[in-house]
Structure 1
Amino acid sequence: MRTVLAFLSLVILSGCGLQPLYSGGPSGTVAQGLGAIDIAPIPGQAGWLMRNALRDRIGVATSGETRYRLDVRLDDRLEGLAVLGDDTIARERRILRARYQLVDISDGSIILDATAGSDAGIDVVSSEYATIAAEQTALENLSRQVADRIVTQVSLTLRATDRDGA
């Protein structure tokens, strides 16, 4: 009975349309597309962190030939939450939002125009150093999270573009 259930589940899953995103390994469509992306400079400390996080995720398979440019604009803010009776802030929220565009360099067309973002809560403590360190750590973590979301969406777009073009 278990064998029949296992077989039926394989048949059902094979018909669902799920496909590996990075099929073909380094020579696959998505890996080749990611390797052909140049990440434009992003101003500021948050931009430096974001560009490095994107390079860590995209730049591994750089093919040498640039076909796309990824333009990213960041909005990084700290908001005070939980104001105490003496008008001090007990908690902050760091918000990092990115608007990004994947541009085909050959004709300047925009292939993808989207946004990604994340936020983190920070406890404000009596030590100013500890609070600043927590804010910095939050920015580093948010940069990695937003970069993951950007690369995932770019990968899905490259795969869809390849299917449409093929």
Structure 2
Amino acid sequence: MTRLVTLALILLLGGCGLRPLYQGGSHGVVAQTLSGVEVGPIAGQAGWLMRNALNDRLGRTGGGATRYRLDVLLDDQVTGFGIRSNNTVTRERRTLRARYKLVDLSSQAVLLDATAGSDAGIDVVTSEYAVIAAEQTALERLSSAVADQILARIALYAARNPAPHEAR
């Protein structure tokens, strides 16, 4: 009985129109688009972390043909809340927002203009060193999370809008 149900689900899934985003592996439309993306400079420490996270995910090692530029503008804020009666902060929220544009280098056309963001809560303790370390760790994690969001959105764009020479 369970084999029959499993077989029926597999057959139904095939007809639903779902396709793997990275179909075709390294020769597919999405992989080819991502391999042609160069990340522009991003200001500040958060920018350095974000650029490294994006380049790690893109697998860019400085080689290969560049067809697109990814411009990223970051907004990194730390906000205190959870205030005690003596006006000391007990909790902080670090928020990292990115506005990014995917630019076609041949025409300078903006292909994608979107935002991504994430936030993290930080406990404020009596050790200033521990708070600074927690803020830094939060920034590293947020950079990673936002980079994942940006690359997922670019991959989705590439799957929906293949370049003429990359058409299926």
| Range into which the TM-score falls when normalised by the shorter chain | over 0.9
Gapped regions of structure 1 (runs ≥ 5): none
Aligned residues: 166
CA deviation string 1:60-108 (max 9, x = no partner): 5876111000000000000001011000100000000000010111101
**Structure 1 vs Structure 2 CA RMSD:** 1.7
Stretch moving more, 33-42 or 51-60? 51-60
Stretch moving more, 61-70 or 111-120? 61-70
**1:71 and 2:55 aligned:** no
State how 1:48-59 maps to structure 2 within 5 Å.
48-59=48-59
CA deviation string 1:130-156 (max 9, x = no partner): 000000000000000000000000000
Equivalent in the alignment of 2:98: 98
CA deviation string 1:40-77 (max 9, x = no partner): 00000000000000001012587611100000000000
Q: How far off its partner does 1:163 sit?
A: 7.8
Gapped regions of structure 2 (runs ≥ 5): none
Identity within the alignment, %: 56
Equivalent in the alignment of 2:40: 40
Equivalent in the alignment of 2:23: 23
Off by >2 Å, runs of 4+ in structure 1: 1-4, 59-63, 163-166
Q: How far off its partner does 1:5 sit?
A: 1.5
- On the 8 A contact 1:35/1:61 being kept in 2, the answer is no
Equivalent in the alignment of 2:112: 112
Q: How far off its partner does 1:2 sit?
A: 2.7
Q: How far off its partner does 1:4 sit?
A: 2.3
